Homo-oligomer: A and B are copies of this chain.
């Protein structure tokens, strides 16, 4: 197993340092994660869910899935009783469900600051920033390739916000670092600038292992073997293909007892059928197969059922995001994931808009609320996307963070007790009078309503006197203010040194690769 030497280094740091590290208090004013107080929104009947499951079973049994991995995965499938023909694997109905029974319905992903550890599954909801953009944007400089500086900035902005619970993964590609080395800088940045949980690399097996090794430096080998401290987010090559890079990475995470997020990527009309029910059946088939590999690699390894439905503009052939069909389709994915007893990942803000405008938020709120309603436990892409998921926008990040804040109150639902019902307040105030200064208002106003940081609720005249700003302009001011005010969470020096040593050695061991 890679990384023995460097975890030894950490031990030198050492066990005591880690204990001190983990006793540190949460820095943010937020909750470590949300426990939803509203039910999921179940739109389909049992009868129709069974039809979708039957369709998925037929896809798995009749068309099958291709695994472009080495012999290991194909060997696993053979041993499990699947029909393997070259790289094509066909599954008897029920086989994957049986394998998935060993996966946990709920698990903890530990943060280096234990006050920030998150519980994934059940009624819990965790927000993480967006993932995977090659570009970044802001109102001052427009669109450009992302850099390590941008990457660090977004981690800092997320860490500063009480509305995220997870630091995410490849928030943007740091394109100024060689492709084969950037995972080291990314994982380090998550550890250094945030004290929340995070995702590791999945772009190659060795990069996944490096990511896990770095987590071992922080948490200790023994702890990592018994607890989930890092996860990898892997995609299906939809339709019905699992790429070897992905299966090797997810196996690396599973082997180490770490989490995997298994996500099809279906644009209806391109990587799947144009009809929602068909795309959902396909997603179920692809995701079950990926999740099952984790259990074949190591029984009980944490795994999250992922959802990424979207559609195409059938006029232009462009992908579309935040449209109504994937939004309502997500409700069904949620029902199916719960029937498998697996935690659910959904995507939050999705948009094809190139600016943080009305279109951007129309599409983003549509997809974010779908994730909320369908019962997602881990909402990746909670903040920042513009440009068909190609650009992270600083302004959009702040607008989305604000929406995440609103959703904390939304997920609290409507609480019912004597104070909430306020019957005495009516007796006090009486018909025709106002509630501004009544005892009930005074006792409750501080916690009553969520308050936006980017919305302008002032009267028109006051708004005009203040410069007639739009939300994007206010978000532009806000992210600069937040970056100026950012304070790094405490990190033990010994651990920090060990991480830097690990990175330096790894970087020295290979030439730069730029593609």
A324 within 8 A of B: yes
Within 8 Å by CB of A240, from B271, B430, B475, lies B430
Contact: A362 with B359, CB < 8 Å?
Answer: no
**A475: chain B residues within 8 A (beta carbon):** 358
Interface residue count on the A side (C-beta < 8 Å)? 130
Within 8 Å by CB of A38, from B43, B58, B432, lies B43
Binds B, one of A99-107, A253-261, A453-461: A453-461
Contact: B390 with A431, CB < 8 Å?
Answer: no
Within 8 Å by CB of A278, from B88, B421, B455, lies B421
Binds B, one of A191-199, A307-315, A498-506: A307-315
Assuming A358-B360, A414-B329, A432-B237, is B66 touching A451 (CB within 8 A)?
Answer: no
Within 8 Å by CB of A318, from B319, B331, B416, B457, lies B457
**A449: chain B residues within 8 A (beta carbon):** 268-269, 274, 311-314, 320, 323, 325
**What is the bound-complex CA distance between A464 and B391, given in angstroms?**
15
Q: In the complex, what residue of chain B is closest to A438 when comparing beta carbons? A: B273
Within 8 Å by CB of A470, from B359, B406, B446, lies B359
**What is the bound-complex CA distance between A118 and B329, given in angstroms?**
28
A472 within 8 A of B: yes
Contact: B324 with A407, CB < 8 Å?
Answer: yes
Binds B, one of A23-31, A349-357, A376-384: A349-357
Assuming A316-B458, A426-B239, A463-B354, is B275 touching A325 (CB within 8 A)?
Answer: no
A480 within 8 A of B: no
Within 8 Å by CB of A361, from B48, B58, B362, lies B362
Contact: A432 with B66, CB < 8 Å?
Answer: yes
Assuming A278-B423, A448-B269, is B409 touching A324 (CB within 8 A)?
Answer: yes
A44 within 8 A of B: yes
**A174: chain B residues within 8 A (beta carbon):** none
A62 within 8 A of B: yes
Within 8 Å by CB of A239, from B55, B282, B429, B448, lies B429
Minimum distance in angstroms from A195 CB to a CB of chain B: 27
Minimum distance in angstroms from A241 CB to a CB of chain B: 5
CB-defined interface of A57-95 with B at 8 Å, one 1/0 digit per residue?
A: 011001111100000000000000000000010000000
Assuming A415-B276, A423-B278, is B316 touching A450 (CB within 8 A)?
Answer: no
Contact: A43 with B51, CB < 8 Å?
Answer: no
Q: In the complex, what residue of chain B is closest to A459 when comparing beta carbons? A: B318
With A48-B416, A388-B460 given, can you name 11 additional A-B contacts, CB distance below 8 Å?
Answer: A55-B421, A62-B427, A269-B445, A323-B406, A323-B449, A328-B412, A354-B456, A357-B358, A358-B454, A362-B471, A388-B457
A residues with CB within 8 A of B: 38-39, 41-44, 48, 51-52, 55, 58-59, 62-66, 88, 143, 237, 239-241, 268-278, 280-282, 311-316, 318-320, 323-325, 327-329, 331-332, 352-366, 369, 373, 387-388, 390-391, 396, 399, 402-403, 406-410, 412-417, 419-423, 425-427, 429-436, 440-441, 444-446, 448-452, 454-460, 463-464, 468, 470-472, 475
What are 24 sample pairs from A and B whose C-beta atoms fall under 8 A apart?
A39-B42, A44-B414, A64-B431, A239-B432, A239-B435, A278-B420, A278-B421, A280-B414, A311-B449, A313-B449, A314-B448, A314-B449, A318-B458, A325-B409, A325-B410, A329-B414, A354-B464, A356-B358, A357-B470, A358-B358, A358-B361, A358-B472, A359-B470, A362-B402
